[in-house]
Amino acid sequence: MPPAPPVPTLDRRRLLQLSGASAAVIALGIDAPAAVADPLPHREGLFSLGVASGAPRPDGAVLWTRLAPEPLAEDGHGGMPARNVAVRWEVAADEGFTRIVRRGQALAQAELAHAVHPRVEGLDPATDYWYRFVVGRQTSPIGHLRTLPAEGAAVESFSVGVVSCQAWYHGHFTAHRHLAAEEDLDLVLFVGDYIYEYGITGSNLWRQGAEVSAAHAVEVETLEQYRLRYALFKSDPHLQAVHARVPAIAVWDDHEVQNNYQGARSAYGLPDELFAHRIAVAYRAYYENMPLDAAALPEGPATDITAGIDVGSLARLTLLDSRQFRDPEPASAEEQQAEDRSILGAEQEEWADQRLVQSPATWNLLANGVVLTPISEDRTDMWDGYPAARSRLLQAMAEAGNAVMLTGDIHKHVAAELRADAADPDAQTIGVELVCTSVASDGDGAVTDGYTEDWTRHPYVKHYDGRRGYVHVRLTEQEMTSSFWIVPWIEADDTAPKELSARFVTPAGDPRLIPA
């Protein structure tokens, strides 16, 4: 019996909120079963940016690709003509595609840089699937996904790879090479700085063997420049391998737009009404290049990248946006301490709080772009700049139990225990924070550096390593095992082996970091 046709999945309420042209473009980029597009002039390498899946659910996921026969074309359109292209997709129960269970079609359009985001539904939970795209005679690389366990189902184990800070120009994505080869991996979580907006010049191009054209030498500001920047970073084969291996979920930090921006405000003196235009194109390019649900497609300078994911009864993941809604940098110590100061905004705080306190899961994982652990009051870009909001979140995390914050930003591996009151050494430990070092930002790095003492002087900080790598998190009903992997070098080439920097076990019900 042939599989049922996929059901259009775009949220109608969301669709109706959008203006006419935008709504049509989004809808067709997700599902266009009847679209008839002009034939595409034959171009090799349509799938040069790889494939990805994301926004996983027990019954499916979003599939992604972006057609780009010339990925580094400087107009940001990847060498594609300004016309619509029908992209067929297939999902199979086997890698050889002998048992295709779902298929459909989306429309690649110039408005979205010829990216498509079809959502496949109707799959079985906790099941392996393979997917691919087809345009004319060209077939994409094959991607793999495993659907989430059914709601409330018991889960033996679930593993997440955590990565951040992909300054492509600072070195090779060796960490991604090793992550893609992890035997035990269900999901990859990007915790911010998927791209960097800085100009790439001789002074910061440390990735030996790489060259870029003059178009990359200036700071990214326009849509064509953001599109080009994503294409450059996503051209990396190891990053593509990670995306093809497992579904991706993501939060952003600042460099997806501009260094240290705060809500609607640039950190570099640009008036808000002007900066809004840059936010709008940066958020659009993020949607175009990530396997996201339609909810993440921005309307001007506003969007919603938050997401909640439940892994059976084992874990609840809550993805937070710690950039878009934050209050500006405090003008005084008094303002920094203000009770109503927020890094998430009131609405998101309430949502996150509800997800935590109502969670039925054993583990309660959060992800955001900046460090939660108290380190120093002058680190105002992190939660240190929002102490009242941190207290509120810690309280909700304590209520939820077995709480874990996953983040990045600082280009160091850090493992810390979260106390209800950081100033009180006898205060209850209510959860842990696992801070992932960078994939590439800051080049090779070293075990210790000029910042080490700032962090390790706190008794609740249990580990620090300033080299590149990723964190592997394995959850079972009994415990969480966090493995901090590093690679000794990334600037010379991508051949470095991986080394274990530290491993901790956190027992369920006793949220400490026990060296393992």
Partner 1 sequence: MSPRPATVSGIVAEPALTTITLSWDSLGFDPLIDHYRIYAVAGGAAPDAPREQDLVGKTVYPRFVHQGLDPAGEERTYTVLAVSDAGRRGRPSDPVTAASQPSVTATGREIASIGVFDGRTLEHRFAPSSYARIPTTYPDAVIEYVQGTDRPAEAWPYLLPGPGDAWAGRKAYRARWTVPLPQRPAGDLDLALWLVDTTRLGGTLRVSVGGKHLADVTLPQGATRGSREGDATVPGSTLQRSYHELPVPAAMLDAGENVLELHLVEGGWVAWDAVGLFARA
List of residues contacting partner 1 (CB under 8 A): 19, 21-22, 25, 75-77, 82, 84, 109-113, 199, 214, 217-219, 221-224, 267-270, 273-274, 277-278, 280-281, 284, 299-301, 378
Q: Which is nearer to partner 1, 153 or 295 (CB)?
A: 295
Least spacing, CB of residue 491 vs partner 1, in Å: 20
Q: Would you give the distance in Å from CA 335 to the centre of its chain?
A: 31
Q: Which residue is it, tokens 């393979």?
A: 130
CA dist., res. 377 & res. 458, Å (int): 13
At 230 the three-state DSSP class reads: helix
User: Distance between the two ends of the chain, CA-based, in angstroms?
Assistant: 51
Q: Which residue is it, tokens 């992890």?
A: 182
Q: Which is nearer to partner 1, 23 or 505 (CB)?
A: 23
Least spacing, CB of residue 348 vs partner 1, in Å: 22
Least spacing, CB of residue 289 vs partner 1, in Å: 14
Least spacing, CB of residue 228 vs partner 1, in Å: 11
Q: Which is nearer to partner 1, 14 or 277 (CB)?
A: 277
CA dist., res. 169 & res. 497, Å (int): 20
Q: Which is it for strands 413-419 and 429-435: parallel, antiparallel or unpaired?
A: antiparallel
Q: Are 279 and 15 a contacting pair, CB within 8 Å?
A: no
Q: Which is nearer to partner 1, 358 or 376 (CB)?
A: 376
Structure tokens at 13: 């309420």
Q: Which is nearer to partner 1, 1 or 21 (CB)?
A: 21
Least spacing, CB of residue 215 vs partner 1, in Å: 9
Least spacing, CB of residue 209 vs partner 1, in Å: 25
Q: Which is nearer to partner 1, 274 or 333 (CB)?
A: 274
Q: Which is nearer to partner 1, 2 or 202 (CB)?
A: 202
Least spacing, CB of residue 129 vs partner 1, in Å: 32
Least spacing, CB of residue 201 vs partner 1, in Å: 9
**Taken in order 197, 198, 199, 205, is the CA torsion positive or negative?**
negative
Least spacing, CB of residue 377 vs partner 1, in Å: 12
Q: Which is nearer to partner 1, 68 or 155 (CB)?
A: 68
Q: Are 260 and 266 a contacting pair, CB within 8 Å?
A: no
DSSP of 490-508: SSS-S-PPPEEEEEEEEET
Q: Show the CA angle centred on residue 430, arms to residues 424 and 436, nearest 5°.
A: 100
At 226 the three-state DSSP class reads: helix
Least spacing, CB of residue 113 vs partner 1, in Å: 8
Type of residue at 413: H
Contacts of 421 (CB under 8 A, 6+ apart): 427
Ramachandran angles phi, psi of 23, nearest 5°: -60, -45
CA dist., res. 394 & res. 424, Å (int): 14
Bridge partners, residue 62, by sequence: 54, 119
Least spacing, CB of residue 19 vs partner 1, in Å: 5
Q: Which is it for strands 403-407 and 363-367: parallel, antiparallel or unpaired?
A: parallel
Range list of H helices, 235-321 = 237-245, 272-289
The rounded radius of gyration (Å) of the Cα atoms in the chain is 22
CA dist., res. 25 & res. 511, Å (int): 46
| Number of H-type helices and E-type strands within the chain | 10, 23
Q: Which is nearer to partner 1, 39 or 269 (CB)?
A: 269
Q: Which is nearer to partner 1, 31 or 111 (CB)?
A: 111
Q: Which is nearer to partner 1, 96 or 269 (CB)?
A: 269
Q: Are 241 and 180 a contacting pair, CB within 8 Å?
A: yes
Q: Which is nearer to partner 1, 106 or 189 (CB)?
A: 106
Least spacing, CB of residue 403 vs partner 1, in Å: 34
Q: Which residue is it, tokens 């000029």?
A: 450
Q: Are 291 and 63 a contacting pair, CB within 8 Å?
A: yes
